[in-house]
Structure 1
């Protein structure tokens, strides 16, 4: 019930301030500024994009299941929102340690985690096979970009096969001992080697008495945690660090927001950028909120009139939530949703940097 636990955790964090669809967008990694901002505001960064292929119909089936268990109930305050019941709170409290929340880092690795895992998996398969003189095997990863990277890396290291195998074994041994037995087992059982193919998700699910969705989430948890450890201690894991030194997964701007940021630095204002890029001003607003989320040194003062920042801050406190509609009703008409979102983004950035 890992997915169910992640949904319950998300519901408890959001506290009826967003519809349930926002949680679906969060887990599936929707690339919208609203979803990214939700991740920041509600401290759900670890869960962003942890299950990109999450089927929407299946997601709502899980919700129905949680309702049948009386772990959640429909909110009376907002349509399409849910809250935890006492039973749900109790279950989440007792199960939190088994969900692996502290090991997930979705917002940072949702784009790069799978690449790291596939590079590592294919290289291990390649090296163990070629070392045994077996050059004709079916690669477990069928992606041109991954195959090209592994081929290039193999060519650079082929004269050090024994050394590479021994070092990788040593580094993985150290890392896997920092995981639970189940996490380490799923990870190693998934690997392929000489005359041995790793288990499928269905096989792993059967062996570990999990559903395939939870196996996927366990692998994601392990991948994120391994990347964190290797990046944190590159001198301890020099070979594995080679697999991700170009995949550090820093919180970077989307390509479109980066273009807007560059134009802002060149002195253009919102309307000028919208005209130059043939975009709506609201889209530029989204970019500016994204920039504020990622860059604390980005000055937002020019977008506020005297006293507006304080008025929004007071409204947030009075509303007791980050629901935009509630905040907007407590400020004067001159203050736009953009200004509210921008200040919320900046306050979140400052808290993260503290």
Structure 2
């Protein structure tokens, strides 16, 4: 349906044909973590595990873009990738499930990352809750509007999710257009959304189904565009994230596409248990009070507060850490080559681990 308007040539790399992209990605994560987390911390990030530790890790190590990038990546697959990287002399073991990239291979890794760059539009943490519903709604909306344009009612829905199907049924009742015209206006909005940037729309368009065309699977598109399947997956997510961001910032220009995005009532995302703690904080409860009321360990409540600092804009960190200690901790982190809490604590015996974590979370990246 839309492919003829999007025929940009996919840019592929030929450097190191034997190095799969998933290996490059794991090496990139290991490099950023610098041996301070286990390899399974990477798995939690790529799977999108919503734990306080994982949420803190993606911010500390600048991996927010990769959150939930590979939700079906298994522990066994990660173990296999790490095993192969060890055999290929990329890694040295520094502890149980802790690895560093060998110094002699870092320049090579830099070249691989430049040849396989992550899109700046990839924003996993920011849009992970929107991405799958957006894609399901978009693909079904395109298919149905294409059939409506020719008054066809005989088709098999590309999305079997009943919630998505009911959403479209309700949405069609609210659209103030003749049903035969919806396809035309939806097409115009898609063109406008995708043609303004240096993207390869074929990554997305080739997966859409219309009345005269069956969309391809992700694996089929990757093969057709001569892309590594995992690199294709990230490129596909990047386009979805780009579209979501553009639509949210220009809703009036995309009256149809904007209906595909259901925003959270809150401007931030918290895990369920942390949200309960946040409610108590807003009511004026202290940490000690919340420990008693919720019957949880203090360390658990502190984990919740770190998550709040990472997600709630302008949360007052000075309610948690004195200004004097904030200055000391920030200076120490900036001068240290490690983001390890243990290393920072060894240099600041008069501050707590929680205060260090709070400053790291509240003031962001110190690299």
TM-score, normalization by structure 2: 0.83
**8 Å contact kept, 1:296–1:346:** no
Query: Does the CA-based 8 Å contact 2:29-2:63 persist in structure 1?
Result: yes
> Which of 130, 133, 136 lines up with 1:115 in the alignment?
133
**Residue 36 in 1 paired to residue 36 in 2?**
no
Residue pairs, 1:90-109, within 5 angstroms: 90-96=108-114, 98-109=116-127
The runs of 5 or more residues in structure 2 that have no matched partner are: 1-19
Change beyond 3 A, Cα 1:107–1:238? same
What is the CA deviation profile of residues 101-160 of structure 1, one whole-angstrom value per residue up to 9, with x for unaligned ones? 312000111121111111010111111123323223221111122111111112222742
CA contact (8 A) 1:48 1:107 kept: yes
User: Which segment is superposed worse, 10-19 or 75-84?
Assistant: 75-84
What pairs with 1:278-297 in structure 2 (closer than 5 Å)?
A: 278-297=295-314
Q: Is 2:219–2:229's contact at 8 Å kept on the other side of the alignment?
A: yes
Higher mean Cα deviation, 93-102 or 218-227?
Answer: 93-102
1:339 aligns with 2:355: yes
C-alpha spacing 1:92/1:320, structure 2 compared with 1 (3 Å): closer
What does residue 73 of structure 1 align with?
Answer: 91
Contact kept? 1:111, 1:249, Cα under 8 Å: no
Aligned residues: 347
Shift of 1:215: 3.3
- Quick check: 2:151–2:180 contact (8 Å CA) kept in 1? no
Q: CA distance change for structure 1 residues 63 and 250 in 2, over 3 Å: closer, same or farther?
A: farther
Aligned-pair distance for 1:94? 5.0
Q: Do 1:18 and 1:323's aligned partners in 2 also have CA atoms closer than 8 Å?
A: no
Q: Distance in 2 between matches of 1:35 and 1:261?
A: 18
How far the C-alpha of 1:269 sits from its partner, in A, is 1.2
The CA deviation string for residues 291-323 of structure 1, in whole angstroms up to 9 with x for no partner, is 222235322334346844344334434543221
Which ranges of structure 1 fall in alignment gaps of 5 or more residues?
none
Higher helix residue share: 1
Report how far residue 179 of structure 1 moved.
Answer: 5.6
Q: Which residue of 2 aligns with 1:241?
A: 258
What's 2:158 paired with? 140
Q: Secondary structure of the residue that 2:305 maps to in structure 1?
A: helix
> More relative contact order in 1 or in 2 (CA 8 Å, sep 6+)?
2
Assess if the C-alpha contact under 8 Å between 2:143 and 2:210 holds in 1.
yes
Other-structure match for 1:219: 236
Deviation at 1:165, TM superposition (A): 1.6
Contact 1:231–1:241 (8 Å) recurs in 2: yes
Task: Kindly indicate whether the alpha-carbon contact (under 8 Å) linking 1:20 and 1:82 is maintained by their aligned counterparts in 2.
Answer: no
Q: Does 1:26 align with 2:45?
A: yes
Aligned-residue RMSD, C-alpha: 2.8
Report the alpha carbon displacement of residue 199 of structure 1 after superposing the two structures with TM.
1.0
Change (3 A) 1:99 1:178: farther
Report the TM-score when normalising by structure 1: 0.86
Q: 2:345 aligns with which of 328, 336, 339?
A: 328
* Structure 2 SS opposite 1:174: helix
Aligned-residue offset at 1:64: 3.1
For 2:176 and 2:326, the matched residues in 1 are separated by: 60
